[in-house]
Structure 1
Amino acid sequence: MKRIVSSLVASIALVSTLNAADFYASVDGENITKKDITMVLQDPRIDFDKLPDTAKKQVLEQIINRKLLSKKALDDGIDKDPQYVEAISKIKEDLAFQVWQKNEVQKIKFTDAEKQDFYNKNKDKFIVPENLEASHILVKTEAEAKEIIKQLDKATKKEDKFKELAKTKSQDPAGKNGGYLGKFSADQMVPEFSAAATTMAKGSYSKTPVKTQFGYHVIYLKDKIAGKSLSYAEVESNISQILLGNSYNKKVKEITDELRKDAKIVIK
């Protein structure tokens, strides 16, 4: 049943208008177009025109057989089959919504002034937060963390020593990678960890253990990337999408609220 629906949806899906010459074969006068080929290949990464001749022939033969069998099915009255009728009914409903949605979205337009005004009123939404790049060593007790800090204090090459200790002492899975946590914004970590890391200087390690719900951390801050406000030019396309979504959702809500007044809705 799912295959029937998928095939029919693909058959009547909205596609770009094809040129008259854009076909590869025909069956009883019906052209085999790129649309037919796309349906069979079901992989947009495959370029039919670049396939070997033998592969092209196999695809075309498959499409020809499919069209012949589809025609036979219709001639045999498949359109009276309950499964077919149910599938077509569902497809019509879904397609009606898709076409309506596409048409409504296309009606929505915004001026540059409206987009600029939205940006000016919502600059706080277009900020890239400060990012940290850090490693850590996680242990169970404060005493263990203090001992690790002592070893780091004595080390000549602090970062190398930190990685070595992380691999042998840390209880966190990141320990096997020298405790490396990657780049992250402060709000991605638990508050205690973030508070400590954001006050550290680049290339330094925490001088006192940092306690969190997971245990005691010794943090090494590899880098600190400053946050910044994005310019209007950088986010103009995003603003267009936000305004489009907001406008469409508002319109849909207004229409559905009105339609629900006269609809008989039963939720079980």
Structure 2
Amino acid sequence: MLRHKLLVTAAIAAAISFQVPAFAQEDKVVAKVGKLEIHQSELDLAIQNLDPQLAQLPEDQKQVAALSGAIDVKLLASGALAEGIDKTDAFKKRMAYIGDRELHNAYFREHVVDATTDAEVKARYDKEIAAMPKQQEIKAAHILVKTEDEAKAIIAKLDKGEDFAKLAKENSQDSNKDDGGELGWFGPGRMVPEFEQAAFALDKGQYTKTPVKTQFGFHVIKVEDKRDAAPPAFDQVKDQVKQLVMRDKYVAILDKAKAEQKIDITDEALKKGYDEVSKMQDGAGDAADPAAAGAAAAPAEAPKQ
């Protein structure tokens, strides 16, 4: 299933990165290298394929960098034509493969990227949010000391009714002591395991009756409030959710194409491997992570096969 997700992610990544510029009706010649011409459309493509570092340059410098690269291409292309490399079987096979790949990317853009609407993305967001399990957050404070005996003494004072914030200011070794040991709101995974386990076991208004030992020392923890964590806002995760919608569209297109066209793999070892991948794909139809709407990583481009 994971391998299938990676394959689909790679496909989405290459297709989005393949962007065909809207060429002007008159595709002007911007430079000539011998008998070969460099048109504005080629320069636009060269700009899109600049190294990421060069892509950060100001627009005029980007154009010069892209033109320099395009001229280098034409210089060696001229030499290749003179030697007849374009007539070789190896070159023709490579160009045929590249042509198929770019047709794949163009089809992907038209039927997946451009076909994905904001309404579809918002509907998928609502679905993912509804499926997400409720996650609790707590608002807590703590007092950090070096020894267990110090922590026990503080707990004894709390048992007698002394103020937690006052004791934190007087005894805590943490930098937040002047704020009464306040830690603010946090959810699971934000604190070290020992601290988190003890804190989330407390009810609102309770403090730990025994010291909590962590790598930092001994803690006395008080939970001041609890609430259900708010889901991530739509604008915050829109791009990640869009990837889920595009992934599903892409898989659906592939499934339809596979059902309509016979795939015959003559090499037995390759056939076995392909069949195994196909089985994983079949089992991953509903593999969307229910928490994906809040996940950070998600792919954003597509197929350089």
> Normalising to structure 2: TM-score of the pair?
0.50
Number of aligned residue pairs: give it.
Answer: 240
Aligned equivalent of 1:208: 209
* AA at the equivalent of 1:26: A
* AA at the equivalent of 1:218: V
* AA at the equivalent of 1:17: A
Identity of aligned residues (%): 22
Give 1:1-268 correspondences, 5 Å limit: 13-20=18-25, 25-27=30-32, 28-32=36-40, 33-40=43-50, 42=52, 43-49=54-60, 51=61, 60-79=67-86, 88=95, 91-105=98-112, 119=126, 124-125=130-131, 129-132=135-138, 134=140, 143=149, 145-147=151-153, 149=155, 157-161=166-170, 164-166=172-174, 184-186=186-188, 190=193, 192-196=197-201, 199-201=203-205, 206-209=207-210, 217-219=219-221, 227-228=229-230, 242-253=244-255, 255-256=257-258, 262-264=264-266, 265-267=271-273
- For residues 183 and 77 of structure 2, the distance between their equivalents in structure 1, rounded to whole angstroms, comes to 57
Question: Relative contact order, CA 8 A, sep 6+: which one is greater?
Answer: 2
Unpaired segments ≥5 residues, structure 2: 1-13, 275-305
- For residues 235 and 67 of structure 2, the distance between their equivalents in structure 1, rounded to whole angstroms, comes to 47
The 8 Å contact of residues 143 and 168 in structure 2, kept in 1 or not, is answered as no
Q: 1:26 is paired with a residue of what secondary structure?
A: strand
Note the C-alpha offset of 1:155.
Answer: 7.3
* AA at the equivalent of 1:99: A
- For residues 113 and 39 of structure 1, the distance between their equivalents in structure 2, rounded to whole angstroms, comes to 30
After superposition, the Cα gap between the structure-2 partners of 1:220 and 1:45, relative to the gap in structure 1 and judged at 3 Å, is farther
Note the C-alpha offset of 1:200.
Answer: 3.5
- For residues 23 and 161 of structure 1, the distance between their equivalents in structure 2, rounded to whole angstroms, comes to 77
Unpaired segments ≥5 residues, structure 1: 1-8, 168-177
After superposition, what is the alpha-carbon deviation per residue over 1:188-225, rounded to whole angstroms, capped at 9, x for unaligned? 6657335235x334xxx834236689896433558766
Q: CA RMSD in A?
A: 5.6
The 8 Å contact of residues 131 and 227 in structure 1, kept in 2 or not, is answered as yes
Q: 2:31 is paired with a residue of what secondary structure?
A: strand
- For residues 230 and 217 of structure 1, the distance between their equivalents in structure 2, rounded to whole angstroms, comes to 31
After superposition, the Cα gap between the structure-2 partners of 1:165 and 1:261, relative to the gap in structure 1 and judged at 3 Å, is same
After superposition, the Cα gap between the structure-2 partners of 1:158 and 1:101, relative to the gap in structure 1 and judged at 3 Å, is farther
- For residues 251 and 128 of structure 2, the distance between their equivalents in structure 1, rounded to whole angstroms, comes to 19
Q: 1:36 is paired with a residue of what secondary structure?
A: helix
